[in-house]
Structure 1
Amino acid sequence: MQQKAGMSGIKFFAAVVLSLAIVGCQASGERLTVVDPDASRAGTQTGQSLESVSSSERKLTVVKQPEQQADRELAVVSTHRLEAASIQSWLSEDEVSIETTKLVKEGTATEEPQYEYTSSIVNINTGQSRENTGEGVRQVNGYTLVNETISPDGSYSFIQKWKDKYVADNFMKNNQTGQTIQIKGDNYLERGGWLNADTYILAAGSISGRGEIRYISAADGNATVVTLNDPDAELFGQFGVSHGRIYYTDDHYVLKVFEPGQSKPISLIQDVWGFEISPDGLYIAVSTASQSDNKGSELLIYDAAGSLQGSLIGKGDMISYISWSPDSAKLAFDVYTEDRTGMNGVYIFDTSSGRVIPLAQYYAASDPMPHPVYPFSWSPSGSRLGFTLDDPKSLLVTNIIDFTF
């Protein structure tokens, strides 16, 4: 099961100092560029070739765009700040269920600090809040966490109810009739996804080894164990499902894929630290981490078959959270680089233009280059992005950024 980051935030360890390096050309021939808002306002444009990054001699270029090109592309229109809060869920485009954290007792050398947590619902536009009577709250009837994943056509929901942070009960719900069926079998991981409208794939995990992969029928909740012949996957480093394919990383950080009926996977990409499949199933965002040297981490876009689409999206000592918007139009990611002149902070990749937009100037925090401590949280339409940072005064602060085209 995925766990939240601690209150102290994320600590990054870098072995090498890397310089800022962004993007070359997409498969379509369009350039991938980084938008520098200050340079745009000044109406200047520069380009600097930095280095070759692969055997194919892909060149990286930093491009500062002129003002006249900014109007047609993704832009930030407003920002919002929620003190001492993290997002539990989006209830609509305008309302979020949040959890507010309050320090009750300072920690000592022998005791952990004590916190108090409360839930409420906040209207992003007005800032008004109201009591949460259960709407969007993920703690229900003795379960510590309840997650629901809706099928592609909306007919069914796969529901996980966690007894604690290690063990979950699973259910399949018919959203048309309201009938809920409990699914047999132990579950130790929060990893899976809808293979299609009728089948959910669950990597159940185990207290020893990688555990079972199960095909779960939406109609009756029956589970069938999937045969996977891969001696290099004692554990799944990452796991994802999309449009009839199952993806995972093995013990050697190789991204692999297989389809129903196959027992042996196909290797797609080497040195994969993390990956996220776009909701439309067309692209895979991959963060790399070389196992043989200290070249840091890169963010690349591949198609569903593992073919590289264009060139670099981001580069730094570490790329942590990556998240596609629900409409697959935008990719949010966070980059840490020890050299403060390199990429640092939260960025948005705009798939329609191929541009990478830095967001550091739009969010408030005491650290000049802060990094999220929770995963990104998109609004249902993808027009708003929420992310939470450490804050010395209020412990946490959540920034919500509004986008428009």
Structure 2
Amino acid sequence: MKSMAAAAAVLALLAGCASPSSPSGETVVVPDASNTQTDDSTQTAAPDITVTDNTNASVYADLKLEDIQQINGVRGQDWLSEDEVVVNRQNDAGEPTEFSDGEILPQGLYVHTLAGGKEKKIVADNTNWGGAKLSPDKKHLFYQEIFEMTGVGYIMDLETGESVQIADGREILIDGAWLDDEHFVYGNIEGQLFLTDLSGKSEQLLDLKDAGQRASGIQTVGDIVYYTGLNEQELFAYHTSTKKLERFGSGILWAIPAPDGSQLALVKRTGKTEMTLMLTDLAGNEKKTLATGTQVFGTSWSPDGKRLAYTVTSADDGSKDGFYISDVNTGEAFMISSDLADAGDAMKWSPSGTKIMVNKVDRKNGELMAQSSIITVSW
């Protein structure tokens, strides 16, 4: 039964779809870049992304869309370098598992080179692997054997390829974040928050019975761990150095601290069918509203803290649905693509801040097909 649960989890986790803009006003079709792939599993046909006009001239003065590269059949996980990304995709050599009216192959983790599309296996067998997150110095990889909403966590030394199991092999939530190069923060389903080192040794930071019940949306900056509670009502900030716990706000879905820790990008429930992306101070007090919609997903800071990437969908005519980049100082927003409006994963910026990884899933011939888009911009 666990293999069936794992197969279902793969489909559930690949959830998260709809045209960029050209300053010249002409329509440009960015061709499918999947012909650069060297593995057949990434050759699945997917629609091109159409670049259309955006009339926001003030933003165009500072932003240029350079390229959109599509990698089919994969779900991007993190950036190893400017030209290498860690991806999750099916392992064609794995043993298929019966699922619904067909079969599903296990998911593995690979390093994908953008120039040429070559791939190198990180871990791939008959197990479903995912949840990959690189340490800030790119020397270690946290990853999980995926079940449903939990998994068994590991940390791999990328130089040696050796891995250690964390939490003594117990299932933990599919969430977590690196605190620094040598420590990773995660929560479990019982409602505790833990810190593990590179050897896999863990220490409990908090019992969450009276502090959110369960940690979700875990984010870190400096020595602070941010998370939202189980019912997405409150935001918590735990200071690992002083062991001080702060709680503030209500109706908060998640918060993402700026790279320098000076402010938060916070998504809040502001109506029955409305979410608002806003900038706040560290106490959750609103400074500026950036976007409002039925759904706001994918929020991610650029490395320099000057821009935010996110997606918006709404219940109106859909004319404003899309993947955006906002200037946090001016609040001006540039729609990159309406084709990526319902990309649900958090965007991932490259180390230079000139490329953004965006994942989406489409249903084709009754099957869910993953696709990662690498969007290159200049300022």
Distance 2:247 2:322 in 1: 31
Greater mean alpha carbon deviation, residues 184-193 or residues 249-258: 184-193
Contact (CA 8 Å) 1:88, 1:99: kept in 2 or not?
yes
Letter paired with 2:196: I
Q: Does 1:398 align with 2:372?
A: yes
What is the aligned partner in structure 2 of residue 378 from structure 1?
349
Distance 1:230 1:87 in 2: 34
Distance 1:174 1:85 in 2: 21
Alignment of 1:294-309 (within 5 A): 294=272, 296-309=274-287
- How many residues get paired? 330
Change (3 A) 1:282 1:402: same
Contact (CA 8 Å) 2:86, 2:109: kept in 1 or not?
yes
What is the aligned partner in structure 2 of residue 336 from structure 1?
313
Query: 1:404 Cα deviation (Å)?
Result: 0.3
Alignment of 1:97-136 (within 5 A): 111-115=100-104, 124=114, 128-130=116-118, 132-134=119-121
Give a deviation string over 1:198-222, Cα, whole Å, max 9, x none: 644332x03xx31x2223355x654
Distance 1:97 1:198 in 2: 19
What is the aligned partner in structure 2 of residue 86 from structure 1?
75
Query: 1:336 Cα deviation (Å)?
Result: 1.0
Distance 2:83 2:320 in 1: 31
Normalising by structure 1, what TM-score?
0.64
Alignment of 1:34-45 (within 5 A): none
Change (3 A) 1:196 1:307: farther
Indicate the structure with greater helix content.
2
Give a deviation string over 1:207-245, Cα, whole Å, max 9, x none: xx31x2223355x65433224576252222432222111
Q: Secondary structure at the match of 1:238?
A: strand
What is the aligned partner in structure 2 of residue 50 from structure 1?
none
Contact (CA 8 Å) 1:227, 1:263: kept in 2 or not?
no
Letter paired with 2:60: A
Q: Does 1:234 align with 2:213?
A: yes
Change (3 A) 1:370 1:379: same
Change (3 A) 1:198 1:337: same
What is the aligned partner in structure 2 of residue 192 from structure 1?
176
Distance 1:335 1:289 in 2: 14
Match of 2:63 among 59, 70, 74: 74
- Give aligned-pair identity as a percent: 18
Query: 1:247 Cα deviation (Å)?
Result: 1.7
Change (3 A) 1:230 1:306: farther
Q: Secondary structure at the match of 1:234?
A: coil
Give a deviation string over 1:29-66, Cα, whole Å, max 9, x none: xxxxxx9967x969xxxxxxxxxxxxxxxxxxxx9644
Contact (CA 8 Å) 1:325, 1:331: kept in 2 or not?
yes
Normalising by structure 2, what TM-score?
0.68
Q: Secondary structure at the match of 1:226?
A: strand
Q: Does 1:147 align with 2:132?
A: yes
Match of 1:243 among 198, 222, 240: 222
Alignment of 1:269-280 (within 5 A): 269-280=249-260
Distance 1:391 1:182 in 2: 33
Q: Does 1:253 align with 2:233?
A: yes
Query: 1:403 Cα deviation (Å)?
Result: 0.6
Query: 1:358 Cα deviation (Å)?
Result: 0.7
Query: 1:99 Cα deviation (Å)?
Result: 5.6
Change (3 A) 1:355 1:188: same
What is the aligned partner in structure 2 of residue 162 from structure 1?
145
Name which one, 1 or 2, has greater alpha-carbon Rg.
Answer: 1
Match of 2:294 among 317, 339, 356: 317
Q: Secondary structure at the match of 2:289?
A: coil
Letter paired with 2:71: L
Alignment of 1:344-383 (within 5 A): 344-351=321-328, 353-360=330-337, 370-372=341-343, 374-383=345-354
- Uncovered stretches (5+) of structure 1, i.e. residues with no partner: 12-34, 43-62, 104-109
Contact (CA 8 Å) 1:195, 1:242: kept in 2 or not?
yes
Distance 1:229 1:90 in 2: 32
Query: 1:9 Cα deviation (Å)?
Result: 5.0
Change (3 A) 1:167 1:97: closer
Change (3 A) 1:4 1:255: farther
Query: 1:375 Cα deviation (Å)?
Result: 4.1
Letter paired with 1:144: W
Which one has more relative contact order, counting CA pairs under 8 Å at least 6 apart?
1
Q: Does 1:281 align with 2:247?
A: no
Change (3 A) 1:241 1:230: farther
Letter paired with 1:306: G
Distance 2:177 2:111 in 1: 28
* C-alpha RMSD of the superposition: 4.4
